[in-house]
Chains A and B, each alone.
Chain A
Amino acid sequence: DTAVSQTPKYLVTQMGNDKSIKCEQNLGHDTMYWYKQDSKKFLKIMFSYNNKELIINETVPNRFSPKSPDKAHLNLHINSLELGDSAVYFCASSPGRGTHNEQFFGPGTRLTVL
């Protein structure tokens, strides 16, 4: 059984388009995250939700909007895509507050903006 799943795996699109990435976890975790991994492999947190509530919102352009319909799902919508948005986006989950926040990552979505 897949613990953290993301769709799509690959996303190729034109500049200016709007796209969404979906994430689901079946681990029963309370907290979910979006990370961006750039071409140098640096992994940077973007957002975190705990039980559908936004708890971490790093310095991310407001073209990026996360949505958590329930604690098992965290989607990422990106408006007006730019070349610099090209990266691999990882969804992750963790048991949440009071733990060591050990992360369980999805397989990633490679976004290429042309």
Chain B
Amino acid sequence: TQLLEQSPQFLSIQEGENLTVYCNSSSVFSSLQWYRQEPGEGPVLLVTVVTGGEVKKLKRLTFQFGDARKDSSLHITAAQPGDTGLYLCAGVTTDSWGKLQFGAGTQVVVTP
């Protein structure tokens, strides 16, 4: 059983459409991170959210941390082919070393 559930597992959309990826857990996290991974490369950090209810924007990407710090969402506006990749959420546990627990990922494909 994974600590973080991501949905959907796979998303295929046309350029210009919007999409939302969800990351849910029954556990509370001290912070939550989103990464994007492209084929043949390691994941790259996009954002860290820390405060319940926090919203962060990175160009066309909007990240939200749930009020209870158990869930998060990533919304992409007017998706472009360059947004194609595997999106991973990862929560930092509250133990002393802040171990990172990853979700299974959402594969996003944006076609021209």
Contact = CB atoms under 8 A, between A and B. Distances in A.
A103 B86 contact: no
Interface string A44-64: 110010100001100000000
B98 A97 contact: yes
B31 A100 contact: yes
Interface size range on B against A: 20 to 34
Contacts of A100: 30-31, 33, 48, 50, 92, 98
A44 B101 CA distance: 8
B42 A106 contact: yes
B107 A41 contact: yes
Interface string B34-63: 010100111111001010000000000000
Interface of A: 4, 40-45, 48, 50, 55-56, 90, 92, 97, 99-108
